[in-house]
């Protein structure tokens, strides 16, 4: 999973990145040049800690999220579209953290002269909508020419693709991102390679001062989550030793860092959850798209397990906590044997039986 941190210059993207990852890089990247920093972050999950208490493993592997701090967006591309290198970088992301400036600071002037979070959200939305519209229009030109010639593919197949892109064009012309479009499985295959930016899910992060109240804002677009936290304060806390950080949080009345909440929301945003493999050798949290089956989970662990899948032995996390061990859960009949089509539930602890 990879999420891109985006936002206008002086919005505090890099401060949010530092608060999330603890990375030591320059406070801001506002040169207007394309620049990317990436870090991999553990997903906080107390279930991993509980499993470690039970199994006392030699190795612990937590689920991961990769964050990429992407500089170079300033809302000025318009109909000209974004540079190709920028599009390629953004298209690789599974979703975005859109950092929006709420804090006031006279020594750090806003690009537009004043702080207006809702305007800034609309600026970035428009940037992505226009970029996708250019891509759609170019694709339609090629499809119509292909349809006219009719030598490479059947005309009805080409026409179906034209019909889809006409729908996308109509939606984008209403200034709505492609997150509003419900793609069928077949349509998803057609557009998957295009990496449309306005289709990607996003979290809007209002970057506040520590004394500011959260903005009462609800996004008009689907697949969008809104959070608020003081990135500068949390980045400072991240830089402290654990004991000092605890004292600092107590002083400011902080019970949970916004960055921990944001990492969890990032995980949920992409429609994924965790299952576990657990034993004395290793406790491992695996990331799996919701709705995936046991054979697909086996493939997440190792391709050989998917090829040679026989069955999965499954215990729910709740049952393991209740009975305290795999053996006792088995004695109580709570260890289930499931086939390849079993849909993995969040928190399932599984052992794959396979033969190759």
Q: Is 213 helix (H, G, I), strand (E, B) or coil?
A: coil
- DSSP at 316: -
Q: Which H or E run includes 95?
A: strand 95-101
> CATH number for the domain including 299?
3.10.20.30
Structural domain containing residue 304:
291-354
Cα 84 to Cα 293: distance, rounded to the nearest angstrom: 37
Residue 31 pLDDT: 52
Distance CA 317, CA 330 (A): 13
User: Which pLDDT score is estimated for 25?
Assistant: 58
Is 219 inside any structural domain?
no
In a domain, residue 319? The reply is yes
103 in a structural domain:
no
Residue 6 forms part of a structural domain: no
**What is the C-alpha to C-alpha distance for residues 210 and 234, in angstroms, rounded to an integer?**
9
- Residue 222 gets the label, from left (phi > 0), alpha (psi -120 to 50) or beta, of beta
- Sorted by sequence, the CB contacts under 8 Å of residue 202 that are 6+ apart come out as 95, 96, 97, 98, 223, 224, 225, 269
Quote the number of domains for the chain: 1
Q: Kindly give the pairing relationship between strand 349-354 and strand 309-315.
A: antiparallel
Residue 180: what pLDDT?
Answer: 97
Q: Is 5 part of any domain?
A: no
Cβ atoms 219, 120 nearer than 8 A: no
Residue 174 structure tokens:
């209403």
Task: Check if the beta carbon of residue 317 is closer than 8 Å to that of residue 347.
Answer: yes
Per-residue pLDDT at 29: 45
In a domain, 183, yes or no: no
Q: Tell me which DSSP letter residue 221 carries.
A: S
> Is 162 a domain residue?
no
Domain assignment of residue 163, yes or no: no
105 CB-side CA count, 13 A: 16
pLDDT averaged per 10 residues in sequence order, the chain, 356 residues:
92 89 60 77 91 96 92 78 87 95 90 92 95 95 90 88 96 97 93 94 93 90 92 85 86 77 84 94 96 97 96 96 92 94 97 93
């Amino acid at each position: 999973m990879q999420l891109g941190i985006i936002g206008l210059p002086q919005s505090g993207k890099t401060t949010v990145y530092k608060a999330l990852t603890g990375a030591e890089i320059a406070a801001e990247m506002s040169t207007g040049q394309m620049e990317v920093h990436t870090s991999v972050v553990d997903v906080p999950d107390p279930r991993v800690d509980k499993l470690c208490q039970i199994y006392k493993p030699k190795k612990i592997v937590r689920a991961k999220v990769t964050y990429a701090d992407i500089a170079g967006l300033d809302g000025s591309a318009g109909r000209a579209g974004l540079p190709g290198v920028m599009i390629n970088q953004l298209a690789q992301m599974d979703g975005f953290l859109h950092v929006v400036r709420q804090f006031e600071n006279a020594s750090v002037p806003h690009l537009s002269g004043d702080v207006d979070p809702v305007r800034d959200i609309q600026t970035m939305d428009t940037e992505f909508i226009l970029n996708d519209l250019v891509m759609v229009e170019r694709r339609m030109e090629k499809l119509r020419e292909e349809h006219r010639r009719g030598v490479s593919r059947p005309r009805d197949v080409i026409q179906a693709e034209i019909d889809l892109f006409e729908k996308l064009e109509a939606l984008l012309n209403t200034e709505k991102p492609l997150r509003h479009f419900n793609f069928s499985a077949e349509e998803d295959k057609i557009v998957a390679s295009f990496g449309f930016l306005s289709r990607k899910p996003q979290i809007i992060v209002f970057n506040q001062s520590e004394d500011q109240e959260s903005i009462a804002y609800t996004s008009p677009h689907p697949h969008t989550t809104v959070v608020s936290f003081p990135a500068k304060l949390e980045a400072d806390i991240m830089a402290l030793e654990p004991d000092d950080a605890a004292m600092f949080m107590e002083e400011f009345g902080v019970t949970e860092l916004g960055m921990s909440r944001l990492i969890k929301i990032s995980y949920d945003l992409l429609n994924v959850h965790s299952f576990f493999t657990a034993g004395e050798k290793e406790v491992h949290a695996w990331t799996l798209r919701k709705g995936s089956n046991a054979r697909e989970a086996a493939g997440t662990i190792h391709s050989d397990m998917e090829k040679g899948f026989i069955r999965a032995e499954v215990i729910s996390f709740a049952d393991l906590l209740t009975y305290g061990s795999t053996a006792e859960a088995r004695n109580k009949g709570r260890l289930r044997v499931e086939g390849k089509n079993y849909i993995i539930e969040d928190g399932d602890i599984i052992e794959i039986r396979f033969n190759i």
